[in-house]
Chain A
Amino acid sequence: MGALLDIQGLVKAFDDLRAVDGVSLRVEPGERVAIVGPNGAGKTTTLLMILGAIEADEGTVHIAGHPLPAQRHHAMRSIGFSAGYLPLPDRLKVTEALRFFADLSEVDDPGDAVDTVIQELDIDHLRDKLCMHLSSGQRTLVGIAKATLHRPRLLVLDEPTASLDPDIAFRVRDRLAQINDQHHTALLLTSHDMREVETLTERVVFLRAGQIIADGSPAAIAAAGGHDSLEELFLAEASRHRAVQL
């Protein structure tokens, strides 16, 4: 059986800058994978190519066997995307907003799907709240609910806990682990929080200047780089990156 996500030789250049330079990656069903690297390493560009929002100059992307961009419509049924910078419709209540996105995601029974994700994410108290009145932590949870309405096989998260209080971030991580555990939903996330990466994922793909420089368990790639923890490796890479830029 093929990988849930299979990207091969992805290249994306903007003018003279090769933002992504030959990235290949396979994610299996139920796997928890983090893409990490310093700012400008190519994480978000890689995610946006996986989502079909940016077209690769070279290379291929298959989601659940569907090639992008030719079968984007089918591919998007298998994928959910959440990021702190994605808006929610301010003037709709949470249930109305979720219902709207359930319709867009072609869910068979939108009402039931909305009730289910609200229960799973424990956000019943937000049902009738206008999206414009949600706190950033609440918006993150509703954003994840939105991304999981159609029971995607792969959940893509761009910095899911950025700018959240530690207790809210803990709750978000807990819910993501629960979704992964209960539904065998694969997680693919980017994060600058290395402790979060160590807690939530079992595999780390480390990017530098658009290329994969390490791929393995958090402990293994930290050790391979001669560091005690992923955070130390990240700091060393970030400082190297700054030195190159200066």
Chain B
Amino acid sequence: MWFLLLALPVVDVVLFSSIGVAYGDGDGSVRILFTGILLFHLVWQLTLAGSLGFLEEVWSRNLLNLLTTPVREIEYAVALGVVGLARTVVAVALISIVGGGLYAIDPTSAGWVLAPAAAVLLLFGWAVALLVVGLTLQYGDSAEVFSWGTLVLLMPLSGVFYPVEALPGGLQAIARVIPLTRAFDATRAGIEGGGVAEGDLVIAAIGSLVAVALAFGFVLRQMRRFRQLGWVTRVT
């Protein structure tokens, strides 16, 4: 977990910023790649903190310990979220420091659009984390693949570094229904000075809220099934 929190953000910012420097056509390319990885780490860190945090309980066979305390499910979910946000703050600070120090990039160059875009990304990241928690309740250790796999699929499909039009035709349709795509589009528009795409942000926010609601409902349903079907014996 410490590698993911402290090393991976540095590796990513060096990797993508250097690609921008080598093959881009000026500051704009570097800033787009840097801001893309900065924002994607919001999703990445929150999702991993939530999903791996819960998987850790399964790996250590600790779920029954928790279930036999007065801790409520919602309290546990909030605690996971708080830890995830703390990790996100650390990662983003680290990326900003490295980007500013090594590549002279201003992390706020996209302007105020960063704030709503970040909120959308955090919401969506939490939805993914809840989805993985729900799958972990059913599949135990085997659900780890969803934790990583979802993020690996989301990165190319949500246009972190490029507009949707750069994807092959068939994938564009998928990319357009992912709320993250519009948040990244809006951020790129901000960097390129094209004004704030408010419509994109509103759609992304609504999409992310729907995703969180669906994921929350899924976790509640899985928790009921966990108790009804005796899944606790699989993870004890």
Q: Do A and B bind each other?
A: yes
Query: Which residues of A does B touch, CB under 8 Å?
Result: 12, 14, 44-45, 48, 51-55, 57, 69, 72-74, 76-77, 79, 81, 83, 85-87, 89-90, 101, 104-106
**Which residues on B sit within 8 Å (CB–CB) of A89?**
60, 62
Answer yes or no: B149 CB below 8 A from chain A CBs.
no
* Bound form: Cα–Cα A104–B66 in Å: 8
Closest to B229 in A: A14
Closest to B71 in A: A104
B227 near A69 (CB under 8 angstroms)?
A: yes
4 more A-B residue pairs beyond the given contacts A14-B230, A54-B230, A73-B72, with a C-beta to C-beta distance below 8 A = A54-B232, A85-B61, A86-B65, A104-B69
**Which residues on A sit within 8 Å (CB–CB) of B69?**
76, 101, 104-105
Given A12-B230, A69-B227: A51 touches B67 (CB 8 Å cut-off): yes
Query: Which residues of B does A touch, CB under 8 Å?
Result: 60-62, 64-72, 224, 227-230, 232-233, 236
* Chain A min CB distance to B223 (Å): 10
Closest to B62 in A: A87
* Bound form: Cα–Cα A28–B224 in Å: 30
What 4 pairs across the A-B complex have the smallest Cβ distances?
A: A55-B227, A81-B68, A104-B69, A76-B70
* Bound form: Cα–Cα A52–B232 in Å: 11
Chain B at the A interface: mostly helix, strand, loop or mixed?
A: loop
Given A45-B230, A87-B62: A52 touches B70 (CB 8 Å cut-off): no
* Bound form: Cα–Cα A225–B61 in Å: 39
**Which residues on A sit within 8 Å (CB–CB) of B65?**
86-87, 101
Given A87-B60, A87-B62: A53 touches B67 (CB 8 Å cut-off): yes
* Chain A min CB distance to B39 (Å): 33
A76 near B230 (CB under 8 angstroms)?
A: no
Q: How many A-B residue pairs have CB under 8 A?
A: 61
* Chain B min CB distance to A94 (Å): 15
* Bound form: Cα–Cα A131–B52 in Å: 22
* Bound form: Cα–Cα A90–B71 in Å: 21
A55 contacts which of B62, B71, B72, B228 (Cβ < 8 Å)?
B228
**Which residues on B sit within 8 Å (CB–CB) of A52?**
67-68, 227
Given A73-B72, A104-B66: A48 touches B232 (CB 8 Å cut-off): yes
A53 near B70 (CB under 8 angstroms)?
A: no
* Bound form: Cα–Cα A245–B62 in Å: 33
**Which residues on A sit within 8 Å (CB–CB) of B236?**
85
Given A53-B232, A54-B232, A86-B65: A104 touches B227 (CB 8 Å cut-off): no
Closest to A55 in B: B227
**Which residues on B sit within 8 Å (CB–CB) of A69?**
227
B62 near A53 (CB under 8 angstroms)?
A: no
- Between A and B, 17 residue pairs with Cβ closer than 8 Å are A44-B233, A51-B64, A52-B68, A53-B227, A53-B232, A54-B230, A69-B227, A73-B72, A76-B70, A85-B61, A86-B64, A87-B61, A89-B60, A89-B62, A101-B65, A104-B69, A105-B69
B230 near A77 (CB under 8 angstroms)?
A: no
**Which residues on A sit within 8 Å (CB–CB) of B229?**
14
* Bound form: Cα–Cα A87–B72 in Å: 20
* Bound form: Cα–Cα A90–B230 in Å: 26
**Which residues on A sit within 8 Å (CB–CB) of B66?**
104
* Chain A min CB distance to B27 (Å): 45
* Bound form: Cα–Cα A54–B71 in Å: 16
A51 near B230 (CB under 8 angstroms)?
A: no
* Bound form: Cα–Cα A89–B59 in Å: 12
* Bound form: Cα–Cα A103–B68 in Å: 13
* Bound form: Cα–Cα A123–B219 in Å: 40
